[in-house]
Amino acid sequence: MYTVSVRRPFIAQHFLTVPDPGPEGELHSHQFRAVVEFEGESLDEYGYLVDIDAINAAIDDIVGAYADTTLNNQPAFEGLNPSVEHFSRIVCERIVETAAPTNPDRIRVRLWEDDEAYASYEQSVADT
């Protein structure tokens, strides 16, 4: 199994909208770190699992959309508690949509909200 991973830090803000969120219910920032990982059994004709430049461009698109913003105000979070779990799924789906990889079998996005905690979302690339 081959694996290719790209990571990128960015800062965004949010506040949780669940009952009794404690201090997380107040607007606050996180130094997020997105780690995007592709897995697959085979390489393409050029010896690549995935085009890293295409993945970097997709991550640039995400960072451009979410960095220095309040997640609660983003259309993708409408009606959702802006948890790191939801955010990891949103990032994963957008990477697949933007980069349109065809060779890897799976994608996993780990979205670290600090040095100690992350959430991840994983899907088959064929599911897209």
- With respect to residue 23, please indicate whether it lies within any of the assigned structural domains: no
- With respect to residue 20, please indicate whether it lies within any of the assigned structural domains: no
- With respect to residue 89, please indicate whether it lies within any of the assigned structural domains: yes
Give residue 97's domain range.
2-15+29-127
The token pair that represents 69 in the structure block = 């913003």
The tally of domains found in the chain comes to 1
- With respect to residue 21, please indicate whether it lies within any of the assigned structural domains: no
Residue 10's nearest CA partner among 121, 97, 87 is 87
Whole-model pTM: value is 0.93
pLDDT tens over the chain, length 128 residues? 999 999 999 999 999 999 999 999 999 999 999 999 999 999 999 999 999 999 999 999 999 999 999 999 999 999 999 999 999 999 999 999 988 888 899 999 999 999 999 999 999 997 55
